[in-house]
Amino acid sequence: MLPRGPVALLAGASAVLVILLVVALVLLVSSSGGGGGDAIRELEVQRSLSDAPDGQPKEAWRFRAEEGSVFNVGDLLFAAEFEEGAGRLNRLNPGTGQRLWQANLDVTPAVGVDVGGTLVVSGGGAGGAGEGTTTYGLDPKTGQQRWRVDGFLRVVGLRHVIVVDEGSISVVDARSGATKVRTSEDDLTSAALSADDTTVYVGSDRSVAARKLDGSVRWTVSARARQIVVVGDLVVIAEDDGGRVRIRGLSARDGKERWSQSADSAARISSTFDGRLLSISERRAEVLDPAKGTSIGSIASRASEGVVQRAGAKELFVGRRARSSGPGSQGDVEVVDLAEPGNLAWSASGSGCVDGARGVVIVGDTSRDAGRVTAYRAGDGRRLWEVTVRDGGFDCAVAAGTLAVAADGDVVGFR
C-alpha cells in the first residue's frame, strides 16, 4: 500500500520530532534526480544547504516556540509550532531571531522546500482540524497561502510536486496548486518524476507506469515496485523478490530492462550527485554502477541509513548508526569518502539532530542533561566548535551563518 502520511514516508518514524531528526540527516543529497542530482529530488533528501557559523558561535537570540521545531530552506529559517490542536509556521530572521511572518495552519509543518518561488510545506497533526496530513503552497515573502492539498509531500521536481494521500498520488503545479495528474488505486506504493518534470512514474504491487502530465501512458512494466529512483535516462526500481529486493534498471524511454541486481530485503536505493547509485540496508551499503547495476565497492559503514554530502570536490557518505534503542539511545554518525568507499573517514557520537552545511556536518548529542551540538569539518572530521543548549539539541537547522536549535519551549540561535 502507498505510505500513509509522513511517518510511513520517512522510514517508519513515529512522531513529528523523529521525522524532523530523520529529515535533518537525510535532506542533504538528491536521491531521485538526474545525473547531476539537482533536477528532481525525493522529499527525504531535500534541503538546500546553507552556511554554518564561522568560529565559535555564541547565543544570539531566543524565540518562544511551544513544542517547536526548526528547518531551513537555503538561507531562510523557519520555526514550526503545535499547540492546542493548531499549527503555526514562523519565518525568522536568522541574524536576530525576529519573526518576519506567521502562518496559521491545520498541521505542524515538518519540512519545507522552495519550488519555483513557492514555499511548499507539509506536515501532520493530531486530532480535530489537524488530523491527517496537508501540503501548503505559501508565498515565502509574506506567508500568504497560495494553495493547499490533502496529503503529504513526497517528491519535489523543477515545477511540480507529488503529494500522497490515502492510497492516491497527485502531481501538483507548485506555483498555482493545480493538479496535473491524480491516480488512486488500492495498491499504489511509490512515485517519482522525470528529470525534465514531464513524466510521473507510478509504482504499485502490480506494475510501474510512465505517465505524461497530460494523462497519457507512455509505457507499463510488470513489477512489485516498493521504490522508484530516476537517474539520468534510467528508471531504477526496487521490488519485492521472495524475501529479498531486486533492483532493476529500466529505460526511461520505453521501460525495457537494462539490468537486474539482487539486494538485501531491507535495501533502499538513492543516488549520488554524480549519478551513481547507492544501495543501503541494515547489513551493508554499496555503490552501484548505474550503467550495469554492478557493485563498485562496499561502503565502510554499518549505518542503516545515509546520504551523500558535497565537501568541495569530494562526495561523502554521511550515515547514521544506532548503538541502542529507546529513550536516550546512543548513536554514531559515520562518514565515508566515496572516492575510497572501503575506508571509514571519521565518526562521531550523536543521538540528537544531524544537519549539514556547506562542508560541515553538525551533530547533536542529547544523551546528557544538556544538548550538545558540535560542528565537524566534513572532509576529515576535525572538530570546529561546540555549543551546549539546556534541554535542547533534539532538532537543529543552519541558515545564513546561524545555528538554530530547538529547546524546551524555545528556539535558540547561535552566531
What is the chain's mean pLDDT, rounded? 84
**Which sign does the torsion angle of CA 395, 169, 219, 173 carry?**
negative
Task: Give residue 313's pLDDT.
Answer: 84
Q: Tell me which of 67-76, 211-220, 316-325 is least confident.
A: 316-325
In the structure grid, which three cell numbers stand for residue 159, read together? 515545477
Are 23 and 89 within 8 A, CB to CB?
A: no
Residue-level pLDDT at 413: 97
46, pLDDT greater than 50? no
Predicted model pTM:
0.86
pLDDT at 357 over 50: yes
CATH 2.130.10.10 at 5-414, yes or no:
yes
Grid cell at residue 354: 544531524
CB 293 within 8 A of CB 247: yes
Q: In what order do the strands lie in the sheet with 402-407?
A: 59-64, 410-414, 402-407, 392-399
How would residue 368 be classed by pLDDT, with cut points 50, 70 and 90?
A: low
Are 171 and 213 in contact, with CB atoms under 8 Å apart? Answer: yes
Can you point out the beta strands (E) in 43-178? 59-64, 69-73, 76-83, 86-92, 99-105, 108-115, 118-125, 132-138, 145-150, 152-156, 160-165, 168-173
Give me the residue label for grid cell 550495469: 292
| DSSP conformational letter for 224 | -
> For a pLDDT cut of 90, what percent of the chain falls above it?
60
- pLDDT-derived band at 37 (thresholds 50, 70, 90) equals very low
pLDDT in tens, 124-157: 865 433 358 999 999 999 999 999 999 999 999 9
130 three-state secondary structure: helix
> Which segment of 11-20, 251-260, 399-408 scores lowest on mean pLDDT?
11-20
The pLDDT of residue 49 is: 83
Q: What is the pLDDT of residue 47?
A: 56
* Least confident span in 53-62, 91-100, 157-166: 157-166
Q: pLDDT higher for 115 or 26?
A: 115
Q: What are phi and psi of 8, to 5 degrees?
A: -70, -35
**For 268-307, how does the pLDDT look when each residue is reduced to its tens digit (9 = 90+)?**
999 888 899 999 988 889 999 999 999 999 999 988 788 8
- 406: pLDDT strictly greater than 70: yes
Residues 253 and 359: their CA atoms lie apart, in Å, by: 37
Amino acid 63: pLDDT: 96
* Residues whose CB is less than 8 angstroms from the CB of residue 384 and which lie 6 or more positions away in sequence, other chains included: 52, 360, 375, 376, 377
Strands 410-414 and 59-64: antiparallel
Q: Where are the domains of the chain?
A: 5-414
pLDDT for the residue numbered 39 = 36
Q: What are phi and psi of 16, to 5 degrees?
A: -60, -40
In the block, residue with C-alpha cell 518524476: 193
